[in-house]
Amino acid sequence: MSTRLARGCPRHLGLPIRWFCVLMATLIAMKTYMLFAVRATLWALALLYSTLATPEARAAAPRLNVLFIATDDLNCSLGCYGHPLAKTPNLDRLAREGVRFDRAYCQFPLCSPSRTSLMTGLRPDTTQVFNLKKHFRSVLPDVVTLPQMFKNNGYFAARVGKIYHYGVPGDIGTSGLDDPPSWDKVINPRGRDKDEENKLINHTPKRGLGSSLSFLAAEGMDEEQTDGIGVTETIKLIETYKDRPFFLGMGFYRPHCPYVAPKKYFDLYPLEKIKVPAVDSSEPNRVPPLALGSTKPWPWFGVSESQAREAIQAYYASISFVDAQVGRLLETLERLKLRDRTVIVFWSDNGYHLGDHGLFKKQSTFENSARVPLIFAGPGVKAAGQTCARPVEFVDIYPTLADLCGLKPPANLAGVSLRPLLENPEARWERPAYTQVDRGGTPGHSVRTERWRYIEWGNGNDGAQLYDYQTDPNEERNLVGDPKYAGVVAEMKALVKKNWPADSYSNQAGNKPGKKAAKN
C-alpha cells in the first residue's frame, strides 16, 4: 500500500515532498498492520481462554479462600447459642461477624454417615453410608466431593485431622476412612492425649473408649494436644498457601470422647454449677422403644448423677479448648489480612445428648442429637451479626460454598445454596430439614419444620413421635396419637414420604451398624 501511495505522489513535486509522501504512506501501512496484529493477538487469546478455562474458573475471579472448620460431637453448648455456662469467646465472635443458624440439622447423627453426606452433598440414602465401615467410593466411585470440586478448579485443597470419618480415639494419627481424591495434602496430628490414655478416668469401663464417658484434665500446653498440633499445622498451611486460593479443612477431634483438655479449661466449669437433666422414668411409656435405643442401658449408660456431672464438665472443658484453638485460626487470618477474602464455615458432624431424655451422646432423632452448630462468615455473608431461624441442612453446605466462591457444583446435589439466608435470614424458605438414624436395620426418619418435628420408625410400623417446639421445647409431650394434631401428622407424614419413598426403606437393610457402629 505504501508503494502505491508513493507512486501516486505527483512526480512534478520536489524530491523532499515525495520522500515525505513515502514516509507517511509507510507509517499508515505500519499502523494498519499493528492494529491487525493487536486484534489478531486478542482474538487468539480470547479463543485460548474460552477453550482452556472452565466456566467455573472464569466466573470465580477474584477467587476466595475457604476455611472449613469441623468439630466432632459438638452440640449447641456455645455462648453464641445462649448456653448459660459455656465459655466460647472466639466462636461467639465468629457468630457476631457471620450468620449463625439456629435450626441447622445433620442428615444422620453419626460421624461417617453425617460427614459423607455433607462432603458429597448427597443424602445418606444416595451415599448408602449408614455405618462407620462403608466408604462412599464403593457406591459412588466418581462422585466429586466438596474439596475435590475446589481442587478441580485450581484450589490448593488440604485436610488436617478429622474431616472424613476417623475412629476416635483409635484412629488418631492415621488417615482413618479418608478420601485421597479430595486433597492435595493431608496431615494427621497426634498429641499427648493419645499417649496418655492410661491416665483417663472412665465411668463406663465396659464400653470402648470411643463411646465412653471418660475424661482427663491434662497437664501441659494446648499445643501438645492433638487438636492444638492440628491447628499449628493448619496455621503453617495458611502461611504457606496464602497467595493461592485455598480450601483448608481443619478437623477437630474434640469434644468427642474421651473428653481430654488442659486442666485450665476444666477450671472454667465448677462441678457445682453443672446441671444434669432429671430423668423422667415415665418417658419410655410415651415414645416408641427405638426412640431411646441409642443409650443402653437407659438411662445414662448406668452412670450415677455425680459421674454424669463430671462427664459433662469435661465435655464443656473440651469445648472451651476447641474454642481457644479456633481463636488461633482466626488470629492467623487477621494477621495475614485474609479475612476479607476467606469464607469461614464452622460446623459439627452431629449433636449430643448430655443426660436429656436419659440419653448420652448421639444417634437419636431428638433435637439435641440432630441439631448442630453452623456458622458462616466472610465475603458474601451480608447479614453478618444476625441469626437465622429457618431449618437448614448439612447437604446445603456444599452448594453454599460453591455459590459463595463462584464455582459450579455438580447438578445432582441434594441441598440448595443458603446465600439468600446469608443475605436476609428472614427470607422466604419452604424447605424442611430431614434427619435419619438406624436401629439395626430399622430406619428412624424425621422431618423438622420451624415449629414441628415428626419421627417415624420402620415406615411407621414401629411407632412415631410428634413434638411442638413452640409449646414444648424439651420434647416432653409426644402428640402423635392426639386427634387434635391429626392434620399436622398427615402433613408431616407427606413430607417424610416425599424424602423417603417407601421403596427406599430397604436401603438400610444389609447396612446393619454392628457392634462398632455404636462407638462413634
Q: Which of 80, 165, 357, 388 is catalytic?
A: 165
How many residues bind Ca ion (CB under 5 A)? The answer is 5
Q: Of 166 and 301, which CB lies nearer to Ca ion in the complex structure?
A: 166
Name the phi and psi angles at 272, rounded to 5. Answer: -65, -15
Q: Which H or E run includes 372?
A: strand 371-377
Cα–Cα distance list, 54 to 38, 42, 152, 403, 504 (Å): 25, 19, 10, 16, 36
Closer residue to Ca ion, CB minimum distance, 72 or 102: 72
* Residue list 102-121, contact with Ca ion (CB under 5 A): 111
In whole angstroms, the minimum distance from the beta carbon of 513 to Ca ion comes to: 14
Nearer to Ca ion (CB atom), residue 72 or residue 393? 72
Q: Which residues contact 396 (CB under 8 A, 6 or more apart)?
A: 415, 416, 417, 418
Which CB sits closer to Ca ion, 72 or 475? 72
Residue 349 lies near Ca ion (rule: CB under 5 A): yes
| Beta-carbon count within 10 A of 297 CB | 9
The reply to whether 111 belongs to the active site is: yes
Min CB(146)–Ca ion separation in Å:
18
Residue 125 found at the interface with Ca ion (CB under 5 A): no
List the beta bridge partners of residue 375. 100, 346
Q: How far is the CB of 161 from Ca ion (least distance, A)?
A: 13
Q: Which is nearer to Ca ion, 351 or 355 (CB)?
A: 351
User: Rounded to whole angstroms, how far apart are CA atoms 308 and 266?
Assistant: 15
Q: Compute the least distance from the CB of residue 97 to Ca ion, in Å.
A: 26
Burial of 302 (0-12, 13-18, 19+ CB in 10 A): middle
DSSP H/E element including 148: helix 146-152
The residue behind cell 441409642 is 294
Q: How far is the CB of 117 from Ca ion (least distance, A)?
A: 13
**468: enclosing H helix or E strand:** strand 464-468
Give me the catalytic one of 80, 111, 257, 405: 111
Q: Does 72 bind Ca ion (CB under 5 A)?
A: yes
Cα 434 from Cα 455, distance rounded (Å)? 10
- Is position 193 an interface residue for Ca ion (rule: CB under 5 A)? no
* Nearest distance in Å: CB 58, Ca ion: 38
> Which residues sit opposite 98 in a β-bridge?
377
Q: Smallest distance, Å, CB 358 to Ca ion? A: 20
Contact between 171 and Ca ion by CB under 5 A: the answer reads no
Interface stretch with Ca ion, choices 73-81, 385-393, 430-438, 469-477 (CB under 5 A): 73-81
135 is catalytic: no
Q: Which is nearer to Ca ion, 209 or 492 (CB)?
A: 209
The one segment of 1-9, 64-72, 81-89, 280-288 that binds Ca ion by CB under 5 A: 64-72
Given candidates 25, 66, 69, 73, which one binds Ca ion under the rule CB under 5 A? 73
In whole angstroms, how far apart are CA 61 and each of 13, 56, 57, 64, 341?
60, 9, 7, 8, 12
- Sequence-distant (6+) residues with CB within 8 A of 374 are 100, 101, 104, 345, 346, 347, 392, 397
Does a cis peptide bond (omega within 30 degrees of 0) precede residue 473? no
SS3 377: strand
Q: Please state, in angstroms and rounded to a whole number, the distance separating the CA atoms of residues 418 and 53.
A: 27
210 or 293: CB nearest Ca ion: 210
Residues interacting with Ca ion, by CB under 5 A?
A: 72-73, 111, 349-350
Which residues carry out catalysis? 111, 165
